[in-house]
Amino acid sequence: MDWAWVGGHVPLLSERVREHVPMAVLPVLFGLLISVPLGIACVRWPRLYPPVLALTSILYALPSIALFAVLVNVTGLRTATVIIPLTLYTLSVLLRNVVDGLRSVPESVRQSATAMGFSPLRRLAQVELPIAAPVVIAGTRVATVSNISLVSVGGLVGLGGLGQLFTDGFQLHQTTRIIMGIVLTVALAIVAHGLLVAAQRVLTPWARRSTGKAKP
Amino acid sequence: MVRAIRGAAAVLLALVLLPACGGGGSGSAKKVVVGSANFPENQLLAEMYAQALEAKGITVDRKFNIGAREVTFKQISSGGLSVLPEYNGALLAYLDKASTATSTADVNAAVKAKLPTSLTILDSAQAEDKDSLNVTKATADKYSLKTIDDLRPVAGQLIVGGPPEFKTRQQGIVGLKSQYGLEFKEFRSLDTAGPVTVAALQKGDIQVANLFTTDPAIVVNGFVVLDDTKNLFSSQNVTPLINKAAVDATAQGALNAVSAKLDTTTLTQLMRKLAVDKQDPDKVAKDWLKSAGLV
Amino acid sequence: MSAFRDAWHWFFQSAQWSGVDSIPTRLGQHLYYSGVALLLAVAIAVPLGLLIGHTNRGGFAVVNLANAARALPTVGVVLLVVTLAGIGFLPVIVPLVALAVPPVLVNTYAGIRQVEPELVDASRCMGMRGRQVLSSVEVPIALPLILLGVRTAAIQIVSTATIAAFVGLGGLGRFIFDGLARQEYPTVIGGAVLVVSLALLTEMIFFGAQRLLVSPGLRTR
């Protein structure tokens, strides 16, 4: 392990991290943007759910390396080649969480909201989604950590990010590069995980207070 | 404990990311995107080009370790890359399988004729790095192998290994069959003349390996390079392939200056520094450019 | 989408079905790598999970460590081990096993822990000793979660065994990397379809295993 190398190559490591982060985070944002409305639709029209779920399950099983390899010629050596497949993966993780979260809203709560005069839209926004939030954020955590690891697969086909430290290190026979790639990937995952836990606390302050709350 | 780990992770990332904030703010000048194929020598050459360009005040974006020519050529044609370190003979074989040009001048003329209008090549360096077929000393002794022709009677018993694209290339299995009449027992896809191929040849998983002539591994392991009597692998001068729109006169001048000073002996020495002394590509590039007066 | 049409034809070319680079050979290699890795992972993680779950010692530490291990990038770990230990079967299998142990371990442990204490008490009152409690009560009830862990690990292994091809081994990843290098899209797509099919087949096998092995009384979970 060559610490001197690490000290002298901070800009390189910095660039790899800066390449890596958008490729991991943007798919989560896009995934949320798609899965929340889609999940709401699946709850509203339950017949929709099994086929959509099956489709996303198949998407999840697709090996990321194959998707990157196929897309390189379409979207080139840009981040889009990584973002598109990872958005599909995130979608397949989050859809289940959104649907489960919405379905976990107790019927009594839903009816109380209606009784209080909430329109369906307002009920969705102010009652159902907030209650579903912890489950959705838990899924977002899983998807984010997963993506951070998956982006490194892109390095095998020249798509940059921390994965390139692995391929360069392998070809140049330099374990320091590979180790730093692993360390930084894990550090990113830890920080992302921590940020999302904090976000959950901020977005659902009521969850902390109630200790006797029945788990969904 | 968990808090401590989280803190450490955050600090590590901050240490890595903060220096970038100060040095940020790239100029409005056009960016030149230097790419490289997926093997260390090409990465070294690309790094040399990149540093030479930066010495002239040009902003460079590096996209290294992409893949085989089959991938990189598409990228430079579409404008995703601006500069690639190429090998004129191999590039010609890719563009025109039937070409018989072998001398540097002929090859370059043929290449220029076959390239799409958006691309061109600059001056070739004297330095050459060729594909070659290699065997262990034991294998060479066993079958009395000195040239590639010597393989013909025994090829059917031998397994040959190389990068996946070697199987379908004219300067590969296809040409070895049509020019030398070689039919190997099996072709094994390994890596681009890298650690996997070298290990496979050493261990005897393969008996013949496609390696590059400047690779120190050949000398270090005592491999025998088989003579290419029919010049299938032709001239392979290091030549910058550029996308004309992205590379202006200053940049072209910088690249030509690098080519003017690069010969095969130098390249082989630089590869030793990279592969045997385990120096970093950017250090090897910087040291050489300085000593050649190019930065 | 002529690429997909060409990929369809790729499956039916005779060259794909005989010889070293054929679908059966690569599929066989992939199953071999995956099977060995899964068996080893299960052999390590299930007994360990049962032990920790049953005795309730060291669970916290182990589970946290296992969850942390999920953040490790597979590509990085495999390339690191190969760079240190050389090219070969073991240097690739060991990281695959190491990365598959966490899901199995965590789920086995959780499975045992979620068995209601009253049931364990009742079985002890009936005269069952430690090992019997484990085998007759805890494991059957934990089985759905254990199977879930093994299923997750299996899918993960099948997917990541494609990386073996990057370091010169065989397997279905060979089609993907070779096809990319030669810019032969039918091969890349064909390889991808095969890996997906294998993953889906694995899912179905575990679905079937769940039906067969899990006691009917637990089915509603």
For residue B198, the chain C residue with the least C-alpha distance is: C87
- pLDDT of residue A212 exceeding 50: no
Cβ contact (<8 Å) for A149 and C163?
Answer: no
Spell out the alpha helix ranges (H) of chain A.
3-8, 10-44, 49-61, 64-75, 80-103, 107-115, 120-123, 129-151, 163-172, 175-203, 205-209
Chain B CB contacts of C86 below 8 Å: 199
Cβ contact (<8 Å) for C166 and A69?
Answer: no
> Is some CB atom of chain C closer than 8 A to the CB atom of A62?
yes
Cβ contact (<8 Å) for B38 and A167?
Answer: yes
The mean pLDDT values, 10 residues at a time, for chain B of 295 residues are 75 72 49 92 95 93 89 90 94 88 90 93 92 93 92 92 92 92 92 90 92 92 92 90 92 93 92 89 93 88
Amino acid (one-letter) located at A158? G
User: Among A17-26, C122-131, C155-164, whose mean pLDDT is lowest?
Assistant: C122-131
Decide which of A50 and C136 is more confident.
A50
Mutate to test the interface with B, among C63, C87, C187 (most CBs of B within 10 A): C87
- pLDDT of residue C80 exceeding 70: yes
Strands B83-87 and B238-243 turn out to be: antiparallel
Closest in C87, C181, C184 to B163, CB measured: C181
Q: How many H helices and E strands in chain C? A: 10, 0
In the stretch 49-78 of chain C, residues with CB closer than 8 A to chain B read 64
> Is some CB atom of chain B closer than 8 A to the CB atom of A184?
yes
**How many alpha carbons lie under 13 Å from residue B261 in its C-beta half-sphere?**
18
Return d(Cα C32, Cα C171) in angstroms, integer: 9
| pLDDT one-digit tens code per residue, C100-120 | 999 899 888 888 888 888 888
For residue C167, the chain B residue with the least C-alpha distance is: B196
Using pLDDT thresholds of 50, 70 and 90, give the confidence band for residue C128. Answer: confident
Angle at B248 between CA B244 and CA B252, to 5 degrees: 90
For residue C185, the chain A residue with the least C-alpha distance is: A70
The C-alpha of A143 sits at a distance from chain B's nearest C-alpha, in angstroms, of 19
Does this model's pTM top 0.80? yes
CA distances (Å), A209 to each of A200, A213, A214, in order? Answer: 13, 9, 13
Is the ipTM higher than 0.95? The answer is: no
> Is some CB atom of chain C closer than 8 A to the CB atom of A185?
yes
B191 φ, ψ to 5°?
Answer: -130, -175
B227 φ, ψ to 5°?
Answer: -65, 130
Residues A75-95, mean pLDDT to the nearest whole number:
87
Cβ contact (<8 Å) for A166 and C162?
Answer: no
Chain C CB contacts of A190 below 8 Å: 71
- Using a pLDDT cut of 90, give the percent of chain C over it: 19
What is the per-residue pLDDT for B108? 92
Return d(Cα B93, Cα C172) in angstroms, integer: 29
Instruction: Find the radius of gyration of the CA atoms of chain A.
Output: 20
Cβ contact (<8 Å) for A166 and C84?
Answer: no
